[in-house]
Amino acid sequence: MHAERLKRSDAPRPGVGIVHLGLGAFYRGFGAVYVADAMAASGGDWGIIGVSLQSPGTRDALVPQGCAYTSVTLGPDGEACRVIEVLEDVLVAPEDPAAVLRAMADPAVKIVSLTVTEKGYCHAPATGALNPDHPDVKHDLAHDLPRSAPGYIVRALQMRRAAGTAPFTVLTCDNLPDNGTVVRGVVLDLATRIDPKLAGWIKAEVRFPATMVDRITPATTADDIARVTKLTGRKDAAPVLHEPFRQWAIEDDFVGGHRPDFAAAGAEMVDNVTAHEHMKLRMLNGTHSSLAYLGYLAGYETIADTMADPDFGAFLRHLWTAEIAPAVEAPPGVSLSDYADALFDRYANPAIRHRTWQIAMDGSQKLPQRILGTVANGLDVGRATPGLCLAIAGWMRYVSGTDLAGKPIQVKDPLAADLRAVCDAADNIEDRVRGLLALRAIFPAALAVKLEEPVIAAAKQLETLGAKGAVAAIGTKP
């Protein structure tokens, strides 16, 4: 039977109040759902214009459907489908950057949100500062029509200031420590290089609330699309599939107080999100990346496959109990052991096919936020972190471009060429570790010196025992 294409309903459409940069699966399965729930609870014109900063694929899939799509909750006991109709349009930035700027400059738009991944901020992960040598930053300094997310924000705010329009709130939804501070810093730096008076206006008037976001959302595959067609009886070219769990903590600091009723949708509106953010980045993202590199090297395709191996389960428990939780200050009323138990169950959910290769992408940008801070804390207080050092060693082997069996790895990373060059030039394990630790965009100098001995030891163990054996050796430590 031929399935009809999903179409938007005839329900009244809200006005546009949000422009979102980076319209990937995560935002459509997370932030857009919260916005839809907030409008269902309390109304408001919070329709979203999505912006694809690179390719037209998402636009081409969504626009023929009236920008409606299916959100599929993957529980251990089955799926639940829901059509989301909060997107009003999708723009493709490289095709018409001026149209994106016009949308952002519209006085009705009160929020510009972002999910552009760590690398989209054009910053140095080791410091959080704008990288002025980034090709997109160089372009944005030389041209009025930008390429980068910070460039779009600065130029749109420049247009609003010139028109006498109040600014929008910049709401980052990416996994960066102090993400609001990071995006504020790169925006102000870029604006200062373009027009210091504009930077002064942004500093005084624009709000950059920090957030903590959490929902496991694997990349959608062709098999997923076929599965959703079978489930719903409709052909949806752009469904999103995700776990049941979701959590969003948001600092309640918006220009003019203008925002959807996020609290009615279940978000936590807080004064300071730092404790939530550090807990999630270290407890969840740190272990997710550790499982991704070591699980991939052990031959496992997904996190759930990795978790089915009891050695990896024991390794995970060791990481949380002995290495990560001691470096985390729990938010008020939160038990870190209960949080770890919930994460264990979420990772093991067999309905979530989250590929280790997908999580392993862009490791040079993720490692400082997810793992290095915890390791640095351990070194400062004399607490050993052999499991996290093994994860770093796993990343180092991964970015060499070949696995432990000599099979090629397709490494996706903005520094992939540099990483491969360092690895190719190394004659032995020690040289590879020292060469990668010398990359200052990732490893601060003082930390690199302290990491040399334990990471070399971990890398040797990885090569000798294999990923599974090395993980088993860590997991059995008292």
Question: Could you read off the pLDDT of 284-320 as tens digits, one per residue?
Answer: 999 999 999 999 999 999 999 999 999 999 999 999 9
Residues above pLDDT 70, as percent of the chain:
99
> Which tens digit of pLDDT belongs to each residue from 19-75?
999 999 999 999 999 999 999 999 999 999 999 999 999 999 999 999 999 999 998
Residue 56 pLDDT: 97
pLDDT digits 0-9 by tens, 312-357: 999 999 999 999 999 999 999 999 999 999 999 999 999 998 999 9
- Is 365's pLDDT higher than 70? yes
Cβ atoms within 10 Å, residue 343: 20
Collapse the DSSP code of 449 into the 3-class scheme (helix H, G, I; strand E, B; otherwise coil) and give the result: helix
In sequence order, what are the residues at sequence separation of 6 or more whose Cβ sits closer than 8 angstroms to the Cβ of residue 10?
A: none
Spatial separation of the C-alpha atoms in residues 178 and 111, rounded to whole Å:
19
Side-chain half-sphere exposure of 176, counting CA atoms within 13 A: 31
CA distance 5 to 65: 7
Residue with tokens 């471009």: 401
Q: What is the pTM of this model?
A: 0.92
In 55-117 the beta strands, taken as DSSP E runs, fall at 69-75, 78-84, 87-92, 111-114
Q: Which residues lie closer than 8 Å to 26 by C-beta, 6 or more apart?
A: 115, 173, 213, 215, 217
198, pLDDT greater than 80: yes
Share of the chain above pLDDT 90, in %: 95
**pLDDT higher than 60, residue 478:** no
Average pLDDT for the chain = 96
**Per-residue model confidence (pLDDT) at position 477:** 61
Whole-number pLDDT of residue 473: 96
- Which of 177-181, 252-256, 261-265 is least confident? 177-181
Q: Residues 15, 115, 35, 165: is their CA dihedral positive or negative?
A: negative
3-state secondary structure of 241: strand
All residues at 6 or more sequence positions from 61 whose CB lies less than 8 Å from its CB, including other chains:
237, 238
Q: Are 282 and 369 in contact (CB under 8 A)?
A: no
What residue segments make up the domains of the chain, in order of their start? 6-270, 274-475
Listed as own residue / partner, the contacts of 378-382 with beta carbons closer than 8 Å and 24 or more positions apart are 378/323, 378/326, 378/327, 379/447, 379/450, 379/451
CA–CA dist 169, 251 (Å, integer)? 12
Kindly report the number of other CB atoms within 10 A of residue 461's CB atom: 19
Q: What is the mean pLDDT of residues 227-251?
A: 97
> CB neighbours of 436 closer than 8 A, spacing ≥ 6?
396, 399, 419, 422, 423, 442, 443
Rounded distance between C-alpha atoms, residue 397 and residue 433, angstroms? 9
Judged against a pLDDT cut of 90, whether residue 476 lies above it is answered with no
Q: Are 152 and 93 in contact (CB under 8 A)?
A: yes
Q: What is the reported pLDDT for 77? A: 83
Name the CATH superfamily for 274-475: N-(1-d-carboxylethyl)-l-norvaline Dehydrogenase; domain 2 (1.10.1040.10)
Residue 3: pLDDT band (50, 70, 90) is: confident
Whether the pLDDT of residue 475 is over 80: the answer is no
Helix axes 310-318, 445-475, angle to 10 degrees: 140
**CATH class for the domain made up of 6-270:** alpha beta
